[in-house]
Chain A
């Protein structure tokens, strides 16, 4: 994982953690809020639960989109200026880890 991917990952993780933490704390300490029906006769517990599932997918897609440049760079010559070819780096990294692991 490049530094950039790692940074994106951590930020998106923090966003989701806050959203998930809000759900858990609301359920634990304010169940009456969860029982309210803000829209379409469906209560907040269901809306929030579905929103958490939808948010997981949206953030995952956003992460994939943000990290896509590296993938493009791997497959053709349009890599970012001043960057080593990521595919080459990944391969060498994988080989290095294989050796470090001491298998075979």
Chain B
């Protein structure tokens, strides 16, 4: 599909990036020591921190990935919304206050508060780094997605652009500026998503009874690409994919509905027929690959039920392993939020436990409201006539473009800067882990405060470059799907140790170290050996995979708990007996 850059969009985009950088430079000047750079001196007001939670959390995965998945398959993307929000319940009721009380800069601080063990710092530091890098991949993929329609640049250019800007932000600033940037962007994202939803309801639905023609892309052996039988390009005699997304039948045979109420929107769609698109791929003897996109009229009632997408196909499958795959993902989403390093470090930016609790409640309100909107935005995109059939991640910005060029520019700029902010938070969490956890656990050299901040900035550059490379390598995958994996790794590696430390007196330092490592290695290993990775990354048949289903959580999260209990029981006599920190 052709994406012409617009001057208005570029102008608003540059203004937004400029404001972000300006805030970062201005506030970054005040953050010269570790306490300022990593934890904003614990002086962020709880309301600001709560909205910043939303800014951190409503990343590329939420805005681009969920809306894209709903636009392509229907209700299934909303399952991510439900799971992502439910995870905040674990964060609020179990983790928020102890994290604030026990830690100072990093997740490892909290785990290590009772034992003061270099081993725990090393394991938790490695885990933080692994989870952060895994979570960075979808953010970078999302950045690449955004610049295509916005600036007319290729995917890799977007990834490099966001990587470079974020490295500048993190190196020059710190947690104070990252928090305020997230506060502004979180608020803007929710506000403009509300505007977009109101416009969707005002526009209503209209029917296009004539079924659109199938579309093809042929990649020939010599590298040339034919689109719908013509050489790819914008000139006369050349071809581009046509935008898609329509309703073929409305209830009562009407052509237009006019404005719809929030419930009427769903009840109308339930009785309509929507044109979805299926993709098939054929490899020719001459080395060419033909991808055919075919229209598939589908009852609205099916679209509004779970189980239509490949990710959640297990819901409608008779195979038990497919159902386990679904249960496993939903478990990982539930447990993952409270284990994400960039979320956990935000508890250190407020002054006390009450502020941590209140900011989490504000975060839940903002995030929950946004996730309700995702269903409207996704279904609005599905019927907008603006979808790119080759890329689900672009659904939300293209929906905005179908409304107005100005809204598209604003929404894209906000989404892009949200990616910037989330990536900044992740890189900051990684830099903190390298400086405070890894370095302190492997060396006895005393570092001055200034040296720590300098090392953290150097680590930020390295992690940023790694994120750029991974963002280019994984560009084909839906960003929400990638985030699901990051949640699995976070929940398997971090949650068992954190929960058992708080609620089981028998927890030992050996138990924590082994549980973190086993949870991390088993979940990463499972993902690398899964059918989805075989197909999407290695290009091998899915059936050849070693593990029975792709989502590891249902196996590796209990494995983390079990490992901790067994190792703690075996080593219980050797650890100093002190009361569990939660029993204050």
> Could you tell me which A residues sit within 8 Å of B by CB distance?
1-3, 5-6, 8-10, 12-13, 16-17, 20, 23-24, 27-29, 31, 34-35, 37, 40-43, 45-46, 49-50, 52-54, 56-57, 59-61, 63-64, 67, 70-71, 74, 87, 89-91, 93-94, 97-98, 100-104
Chain A residues closer than 8 Å to B89, beta-carbon distance: 12-13, 16-17, 20, 56, 59-60
B63 at the interface (CB under 8 A from A): no
The A interface is mostly helix, strand or loop, or mixed, namely helix
A101-B112 in contact (CB<8A):
yes
Residues 362 to 408 of chain B near chain A (Cβ within 8 Å): 364-365, 368, 371-372, 375
B12 at the interface (CB under 8 A from A): no
> Could you tell me which B residues sit within 8 Å of A by CB distance?
34, 75, 78-79, 81-82, 85-86, 88-90, 92-94, 97-98, 100-105, 109, 112-114, 116, 263, 266-267, 270-271, 301, 304-307, 314-316, 323, 326-327, 330, 334, 352-354, 357-358, 360-361, 364-365, 368, 371-372, 375, 436, 449, 582-584
A49-B78 in contact (CB<8A):
yes
**Beyond A49-B81, A53-B372, 8 extra complex contacts between A and B, CB < 8 Å:** A2-B584, A13-B93, A24-B326, A31-B305, A43-B305, A60-B360, A63-B93, A90-B353
Question: Which residue from A41, A61, A74 sits with its C-beta under 8 Å from B266?
Answer: A41
Question: Which residue from A17, A42, A52 sits with its C-beta under 8 Å from B267?
Answer: A42
Question: Which residue from B82, B93, B316 sits with its C-beta under 8 Å from A10?
Answer: B93
A-B contact number at CB 8 A: 165
Question: Complex formed: what's the CA distance from A2 to B364 in Å?
Answer: 22
- Asked if A24 meets B584 with Cβ closer than 8 Å, knowing A53-B372, A104-B449, the reply is no
Q: Can you list 7 A-B pairs with a CB-CB distance of less than 8 A?
A: A24-B330, A35-B301, A43-B304, A49-B78, A57-B368, A60-B88, A94-B352
- Whole-angstrom distance from the CB of B116 to the nearest CB of chain A? 6
Chain A residues closer than 8 Å to B100, beta-carbon distance: 94
Question: Complex formed: what's the CA distance from A31 to B304 in Å?
Answer: 11
Chain B residues closer than 8 Å to A24, beta-carbon distance: 326-327, 330
A1-B582 in contact (CB<8A):
yes
- Whole-angstrom distance from the CB of B515 to the nearest CB of chain A? 20
**Chain B, residue nearest A91 (CB):** B352
Chain B residues closer than 8 Å to A63, beta-carbon distance: 92-93, 357, 361
B306-A27 in contact (CB<8A):
yes
- Asked if A31 meets B104 with Cβ closer than 8 Å, knowing A9-B92, A56-B89, the reply is no
Chain B residues closer than 8 Å to A42, beta-carbon distance: 263, 266-267, 270
Question: Complex formed: what's the CA distance from A34 to B312 in Å?
Answer: 15
Chain B residues closer than 8 Å to A5, beta-carbon distance: 97, 357
A101-B372 in contact (CB<8A):
no
**Chain B, residue nearest A25 (CB):** B327
B94-A13 in contact (CB<8A):
yes
Question: Complex formed: what's the CA distance from A53 to B373 in Å?
Answer: 11
A31-B93 in contact (CB<8A):
no
**Chain A, residue nearest B322 (CB):** A28
- Whole-angstrom distance from the CB of A49 to the nearest CB of chain B? 5
Chain B residues closer than 8 Å to A54, beta-carbon distance: 368
Chain B residues closer than 8 Å to A40, beta-carbon distance: 263, 267
B82-A53 in contact (CB<8A):
yes
Question: Which residue from A13, A20, A61, A103 sits with its C-beta under 8 Å from B436?
Answer: A103
Question: Complex formed: what's the CA distance from A40 to B266 in Å?
Answer: 9
| Residue of A12, A24, A102 with most partner-chain B CB within 10 A | A24
- Whole-angstrom distance from the CB of A8 to the nearest CB of chain B? 8
Chain A residues closer than 8 Å to B103, beta-carbon distance: 97, 101
- Whole-angstrom distance from the CB of B422 to the nearest CB of chain A? 21
A64-B270 in contact (CB<8A):
no
B327-A70 in contact (CB<8A):
no
A9-B94 in contact (CB<8A):
yes
B86-A52 in contact (CB<8A):
yes
- Whole-angstrom distance from the CB of A36 to the nearest CB of chain B? 10
**Chain B, residue nearest A62 (CB):** B361
Question: Which residue from A20, A61, A97, A102 sits with its C-beta under 8 Å from B102?
Answer: A97
**Chain A, residue nearest B356 (CB):** A1
B104-A98 in contact (CB<8A):
yes
Question: Which residue from A20, A41, A87 sits with its C-beta under 8 Å from B86?
Answer: A20
Chain A residues closer than 8 Å to B361, beta-carbon distance: 60-61, 63-64
Chain A residues closer than 8 Å to B330, beta-carbon distance: 24
**Chain A, residue nearest B79 (CB):** A27
A97-B82 in contact (CB<8A):
no
B109-A101 in contact (CB<8A):
yes
- Asked if A101 meets B267 with Cβ closer than 8 Å, knowing A1-B584, A53-B82, A60-B361, the reply is no
